[in-house]
Structure 1
Amino acid sequence: MTDQELQTLVEAISAEYFARPFRHRARFNKRLRTTGGRYLIRSHDIEINPRHLEEYGEAELIGIVKHELCHYHLHLEKRGYQHKDRDFQELLKQVGGSRYCQEVGNGRTRLPYRYELVCSSCDMRYKRKRRMDPARYRCGRCRGKLRLEELALR
């Protein structure tokens, strides 16, 4: 789907579900990572994460567009457009938009623990993802000296 097709889809959803025109721009933004879309308050434009269309299809995309259009129309009417506002929650329920979007694999993976600080006195172990200087710290349990050990990655 291109940006122009998205623009047409957003205009059609706005006319059908909100009975109001969408007079600004809708576009895909592949830099969005953790959200399905966003409404830009200053320009009144809507940006959509294209990964949701790729992974979950057009039904998920329509739910996200309805959600962003709720922000759009309520903001232009000077009513409560934030997630916490009752106006937003009621309009979202009325049009059948999605409150939350599906999680997208955004390429980020959790780093495994690579290091361990070990106390020389009580053998307390502290796992760390980043390398650090053990001479600057002491054990939280017994105030003993720490030594840094590198863990084998699995």
Structure 2
Amino acid sequence: MTDQELQTYVENISQVFFHKPFLHRACFNARLRTTGGRYVLNDHSIEINPKHVTEFGLPELEAIVKHELCHYHLHLGGKGYKHRDVDFKTLLQQVGGARHCRALPTAVPRHTYECISCGLQFKRQRQIRTGRYRCGKCYGKLKKVASDG
């Protein structure tokens, strides 16, 4: 899906579920990491995390867009647009938007370290310097056991 297709998609959802036009910009933002989307207060634009679309498909995208449109329409209407506000919670429930987006799959640990003293294993995404770090349980030295990358 391109940014132009997303723009059309957001405009359609706004018209169908909110009965109001979406007059600003909607686009994908690949730099978003911990959220499915965001409503930018300064320019009233909506940014969507493209990873959520590729991982979970259109139903997840629709729920995220509805959530962000709740922020959008309530903010422009001068009502409570924050997550804790009653106006926001009520409108979100009326349109069937998601309160939270689904979590993206996390990265798989590639490096395994083991304590020489107690045998406790540590799995890490990034490599660590074994001479600098010690076991958190017994303060023993660490050695690298396996590497998948």
Partner Cα distance (1:8, 1:140) in 2: 55
Structure 1: gaps (5+ residues): none
Q: What root-mean-square deviation, in Å, do the aligned CA atoms of Structure 1 and Structure 2 show? A: 2.9
Residue in structure 2 matched with residue 148 of structure 1 by the alignment: 141
Partner Cα distance (1:112, 1:81) in 2: 44
Residue in structure 2 matched with residue 75 of structure 1 by the alignment: 75
Q: Is the 8 A contact 2:109 2:123 kept in 1?
A: no
Partner Cα distance (1:114, 1:11) in 2: 51
Whether 1:25 aligns to 2:25 is: yes
Residue in structure 2 matched with residue 109 of structure 1 by the alignment: 108
Displacement, 1:60? 1.4
Displacement, 1:27? 0.3
Residue in structure 1 matched with residue 42 of structure 2 by the alignment: 42
Aligned residue-pair number: 142
Task: Map Cα deviations across residues 38-75 of structure 1 (whole Å, 9 max, x no partner).
Answer: 11111111011112222222121111100000011111
Structure 2: gaps (5+ residues): none
Residue in structure 1 matched with residue 10 of structure 2 by the alignment: 10
Residue in structure 2 matched with residue 91 of structure 1 by the alignment: 91
Residues 1:26 and 1:115: Cα distance change in structure 2 (over 3 Å): same
- The one-letter code of the counterpart of 2:5 is E
Residues 1:79 and 1:27: Cα distance change in structure 2 (over 3 Å): same
- The one-letter code of the counterpart of 2:48 is I
Once the two structures are aligned, what percentage of the paired residues are identical?
Answer: 48
Q: Is the 8 A contact 2:110 2:123 kept in 1?
A: no
- The one-letter code of the counterpart of 2:113 is R
**TM-score, normalization by structure 1:** 0.75
